[in-house]
Amino acid sequence: MAAHKILVVIEPLLIDEDYYARVEGREIIANLSKAAGLATMIATMRPDIDNLDEYVRNTTARAFAVVASALGIPALLPFLKAVCQSKKSWQARHTGVKIIQQIAILMGCAVLPHLKKMVEIMEAGLTDEQQKVRTITALSLAALAEAATPYGIEAFDIVLKPLWIGTRAHHGRCWRRSSRRLASSSRSWSRSTPDSTRARSCRSSSASSRRPTRR
């Protein structure tokens, strides 16, 4: 399949040390996603989601994040839900959660309209039988909280208790980082403005910051 051959060559660029190589890789995958469509991209990358090689799963997660940025997060949510709740292998669940982490890192405050659904999709990962899944879930929640700050803290209500229990039980840096990020978001969050207004405001401010200044 042509799409697979292109991805085999381009995906390593997504973790390249050179910034411009990463940007070029994202642009190529975004254009490929628009040309091939979501179904083709999922069919092409699906076998790599539960690959035993963590390098392959890492690049695949980053590629799916680019697909989400190109085609829209809502289009990918049903697929992410199925992968994150997969009974087939923990590697698939790990990759699914990592995709959400990479979406948060790549898209920033654009995750706000979908924040609650993304948190709900990952919720079970905090109590997963595999430690690596629990760890990446905590890190992904921290990435979502950082992307959404100072808005949307109420979306994390369902994970606060398991996250607190996990922090006490595991004493890992990722658990503490996630807890600190959520605490920071909570302090800076204002209850006076609806989330939809905040999301529009966030997008408007991002768009205005990109507009060239008239001289």
Per-residue b or e along 64-86, where b marks 16 or more CB atoms closer than 10 Å to that residue's CB: bbbbbbbbebeebbebbbebbeb
DSSP structure string for 124-152: GGGG-SSHHHHHHHHHHHHHHHHHHTTS-
Cis preceding linkage at 194, omega within 30: no
The least confident of 113-122, 125-134, 201-210 is 201-210
pLDDT at res. 200: 52
pLDDT at res. 4: 86
User: Cβ neighbours of residue 124 under 8 Å, at least 6 residues apart?
Assistant: 84, 85
pLDDT at res. 213: 44
pLDDT at res. 215: 41
Terminal Cα distance for the chain, rounded: 50
Report pLDDT digits (tens) over 182-202: 555 555 554 434 554 445 545
Mean pLDDT value of segment 117-139 = 92
Mean pLDDT value of segment 200-207 = 49
Collapsed DSSP state (helix, strand, coil) of residue 215? coil
Report pLDDT digits (tens) over 73-117: 999 999 999 999 999 899 999 999 999 999 999 999 999 999 999
Distance CA 107, CA 90 (A): 26
**More confident site: 35 or 203:** 35
User: What's the distance, CA 97 to chain centroid?
Assistant: 7
pLDDT at res. 101: 96
Rounded to two decimals, the pTM is: 0.80
Amino acid present at 142: A
